[in-house]
Every structure is written in C-alpha cells, then in structure tokens.
Chain A
Amino acid sequence: MSVRFTKDHEYITADGTVGITPYAQEQLGDIVFVELPRPGQRLKQGDEAAVVESVKAASEIYAPVSGTVTAVNDALTGDPGLINAAPETDGWIYRLAIDNPAELDGLMDAAAYAKLTT
C-alpha cells in the first residue's frame, strides 16, 4: 500500500500521514500560517481538517478518508515554510487513525495523480 492522493492535492500515506503535494505547495507559494486540527478530533472523509495560508490566500485541507487525528505537526506553527521546503517529509500536517482502509481505494495512486497535474 503506497501513497494515495485526492483531487484537492492532499496525500495520505499508508500510516495515515496527511500533507499537501509538491504540486500544491508550488501552486500556493510561500506558506505563512497553518491551522492544525486537534488531536483526538474525529474527521469524516471530506471534512475540513486544517487551513494552510499563503501570502495571498487561505486554503482548506480536507480529510482524505475518515478517521481520528492521532498527531499533528507542531513544527509547522513556528515554521510553516516546512510545507514548501519538504511537503512530503518534514512538512506533513497531521496523522489519522484510518477508520476504513477501503476508503483509500477510492483515492488516486501516484500515476493517476501525476496525470491530473500535468
């Protein structure tokens, strides 16, 4: 099971780590503020989970699948630019305990997502 992608440019890894894709951070530009979900928060697929603000605008980050927030990346509070610098590693946003792994099957794989963004 590898990384899955949404049409809103979130990724989710097999362990439930959620962030935005390199394409998304490139489109947003410099990230200056991140509003994180609350650990323990229950999210349904498609719920607003976080907000990422660039210099120009605020963008909602949705839950790719349903689950419970188990961790958030507190480093983003002091250094939101981590999302620009390393969206897939140090710039992760939050982690979910996934309710139903079958929901992942409805998301795009890397090849499908690459087609969406080219």
Chain B
Amino acid sequence: MAEAPDADLKTVVLNDRHIVAGGRMVPFSGYSLPVQYPTGIIAEHKWTREHAGLFDVSHMGPSFLVLDRKSGDGEADHVAIAAVVEPLCCGDIRGLKPGQVRYTLLLNEAGGTHDDLMIARPAAEGWGGALYIVVNAGTKEADFQRIAAAAAGKATLNRSDHCALLALQGPEAVDVMRTLVPGAAELGFMHYGSFGWRETHLVISRSGYTGEDGFEILVDPEHAAALWDLLLADPRVKPIGLGARDSLRLEAGLPLYGHDLDETISPVEAGLNFAISRRRREMADFPGATRILAELGGVLGRVRVGLEVEGAPAREGAEIVDAAGTTIGHVTSGGFAPSLGRAIAIGFVPPESAAPGTRLNVLVRGRSQPAIVVPTPFVPHRYVRKAST
C-alpha cells in the first residue's frame, strides 16, 4: 500500500513544512503533495466546514498575462488584453470590473473543454492591460502554451508557479484573514487584490473550491514558509490535504478537470451554463460555439447530475443504469461525503434521466445499488457575496 518515492516528482516550496506536519506525501499531477495529515481526511474535511483549513495548492498554475505595449489608458488596455484571451474561452473577460475574478473554460473547436480556470482583472489602475490567470495543475503546460501562442506579439505570459499558492477556506477564514491582511478581509466574493505584507506583496482572491467562504493567496517563495507558519499559528487554522480538498469540492458539486470535465465534455453538458457569458453567446465567437449554442437550445445527449448513492461508494467509472437495467452513463467522481455521512457521486446521464428524484442504480463491483438524482451542490455553498464591513 505504501507509495514508492518517485525521483521524477516535483516538490512544492513548502514541501518541508508538509513533512514536518506529518503530511502523507503522494504523487499528484507530477508533484509530491500531502493527501492528508495525521488527523485524517474526515477530521480535516469537517474542520474546514467548521473553522478554517489551509491547503497548499502550489501545483496549480498561477500566471499573469501582460500587454506588451500599454496605451496607459487602463480601460483601453483592459479591452486589449481581454481580446487576447477571449478567443480561447467562453467568458466575458472584457466585461470584468476592476478586481473581479471570473470562472471560465478554455474550449476546443469541438466545444469540449481544455480546462476550467479563473481569469481576473487587476483592481489597481496601473495594472490595466494585465490579467491574473490560474489554471489546473494537470493541464498547465498545455494551457500556458495555448495562451502564450494566442498572445504572441501582443502580450507576454509570466508564469508564477514557482511561488506558493495557498487556499484558506472555511467559515472562520475571514476572521483569520482580518488579523493578517485586514484589507483582504474586505474583498467581495470572486474579487482579488494585491496587498503589501512585510516586505513583499500577496495576491489574494476571495475564492476557493470547497463551497466555503475563503481566500486563495499567492506568495513569493521567499515568504511562503513565514506565511504558512503564521497562518497555522492561529488556533482556528489546520493544514488540510488533497484528500479532503477532493471530498469538499465533491460535496460542493464542483467539477474536477480530468474527471467531470474533459476534452469531450462541453460546458452545457457539465451544467456550467453560467460560465457562458451572455455577450459571448450573442456574438457566438468562442470555440465550439456551434455545438454549445445548439446544446443551450436543447440539443443535448447527456448532462451532469448529482447522485445520492445507497451503500458502498460508487467511484469514477462505475456504470449508471436505469430501472430497466440499461447502462445510461458513468460516474465521473464519487466517494464518501463526510458532511453527509453517505456516498455521493457526480456522473453523466441522458437529460430524460436527469430530473431530481429520478431513481437509478449504480454498479459497484458488479452489484446494483440504488442511486437517486439530487440537485447539486450536495452541501449548500456558503460564499460571502458582499464584503463584510
């Protein structure tokens, strides 16, 4: 059961901190990362839902795309940089307000998904003509190549994945943040800013992937350990591994790239219509628009659903069968939901089997177990829409 150490694995800046904290290091997306600490996944999961969990997500791909020739007019420069990335994705990047973060998708010409990502517009006037972009770990090399190619001659992509990216998530995250960087505690959900801290700057967004309120913090490698230590010195904060990160995002009904999203799955199939901005729909100017607009019009073969599973967890790949015993789809993410004390899953089924309340079955080790379609999120999101004052 023990994982053999792999010499090819990259380590994150805070690798030593994870080992000291008793993290069980496993390979993930080419990095050695803690899947859990000694308290275990369930305790870590529950701690995050009740207090504040600190996650090291430095394997992800933070970057800054910066216009090569700025006009100095912040608004015009934003329009120019938005025009660089909009041909790759379905989000309204031009329409971002200063400081706003948007979840969007990089699409292929067939309307499938290269990646899901965050794109943000800097709040500071002097940063007009730049975008803060965070992509997934497993896809970052391809994503960065794609963005850099689209930007050639117009803008330069500066990778920041040598830094540490930390996520502080949970209902007490905002109180912890207030003691550290009071200004960041005033950010609204899906907004970000750059904040002076000691002799450096932290890029902090009010965002995350757990369904809880919280923050994601980009810190340079020289200050990462000090920030980690300071956050963990707060009794409300505990380190949380990738295992609980996955169970938290599953309960929150959030898709995981490479599982619930891939090169064949469109944003409409994945139930991410909110990420296809109105202006882009009207312009029909994004990759795969023909398919995606048809799907928005109702031509849809499969859709993502949430399932409450009776009995053993139905894992990725488990067949979903209808009452007649016909296989109608597969589970793409599944496991045990610590907050619910039961098995849940995300999978794809035809629209006629997707209504909440539909009784289906999943095959686990060849045996049929009842599964009922339920709305997602499985556990309500607790995002803080407006900054508290």
Q: Which residues of A contact B (CB under 8 A)?
A: 9, 24, 27-30, 32-33, 35, 51, 53-59, 84
Contact = CB atoms under 8 A, between A and B. Distances in A.
B312 A55 contact: no
Given A33-B313, A35-B312, A28 B1 contact: yes
A53 B313 contact: yes
A29 B40 contact: yes
Given A55-B41, A56-B35, A32 B365 contact: no
B316 to A, nearest CB: 11
Please report whether the interface of chain B is mostly helix, strand, loop or mixed according to DSSP.
mixed
Query: Which interface class (under 10, 10 to 19, 20 to 34, 35 or more) fits B?
Result: 20 to 34
A52 to B, nearest CB: 10
B41 A56 contact: yes
Contact of B312 (A9, A33, A84): A33
Contacts of A54: 41
A28 B42 CA distance: 12
B11 to A, nearest CB: 21
Interface of B: 1-2, 35-36, 40-43, 243, 246-247, 311-313, 315, 335-336, 338, 343, 365
A58 B315 contact: yes
A32 B1 contact: no
Given A33-B336, A58-B312, 9 more contacts: A28-B1, A29-B36, A30-B42, A35-B312, A35-B365, A53-B312, A55-B41, A55-B42, A56-B41
A6 to B, nearest CB: 13
Interface centre among B41, B43, B336 (most CB of A within 10 A): B336
Given A30-B41, A30-B42, A35-B312, A56 B1 contact: no
A29 B336 contact: no
Contacts of A57: 315
A32 B313 contact: yes
B1 A24 contact: yes
B258 to A, nearest CB: 16
9 contacts: A33-B311, A33-B312, A33-B343, A51-B365, A53-B313, A55-B243, A56-B35, A56-B41, A56-B243
